[in-house]
């Protein structure tokens, strides 16, 4: 019997498989942080709750992360603005295409 999975079911299955595999591959132990815990924000927040870290370190890391995300998305935003400006400069189309 063949069972067809919906895209949502398949993505959940893949996410769970990745979580299990990453935990087994990069395991630092059950109580130690490892790469697999990226998918578990509660464990990460409990581990890095700030009591052992300087808050400036966290802010610097957050700032670097935010600037990196902005830099990665900036080319797409610039292209989108360019397309809008090009459409505004284009001559008006006469007639409607029905």
Q: How confident is the model at residue 85 (pLDDT cuts 50, 70, 90)?
A: very high
Residue with tokens 């132990």: 29
Is the separation of the CB atoms in 19 and 32 below 8 Å?
Answer: no
The predicted model gives 33-43 an average pLDDT of 68
Q: How confident is the model at residue 6 (pLDDT cuts 50, 70, 90)?
A: confident
Whether residue 73 is predicted with pLDDT greater than 80 in this model: the reply is yes
The predicted model gives 52-60 an average pLDDT of 67
pTM summary value: 0.37
Neighbouring C-beta atoms of residue 13, cutoff 10 Å: 11
In the predicted model, what is the mean pLDDT of the chain?
Answer: 75
Distance CA 57, CA 6 (A): 43
């Amino acid at each position: 019997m063949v069972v067809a999975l919906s895209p949502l079911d398949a993505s959940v299955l893949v996410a769970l498989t990745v979580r299990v595999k990453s935990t087994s591959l990069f395991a630092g132990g059950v109580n130690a942080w490892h790469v697999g815990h990226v998918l578990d924000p509660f464990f990460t927040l409990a581990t890095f709750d700030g009591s052992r870290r300087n808050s400036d370190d966290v802010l610097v890391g957050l700032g670097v992360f935010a600037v990196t995300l902005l830099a990665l998305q900036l080319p797409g935003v610039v292209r989108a603005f360019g397309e809008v400006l090009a459409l505004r400069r284009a001559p008006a189309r006469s007639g409607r295409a029905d």
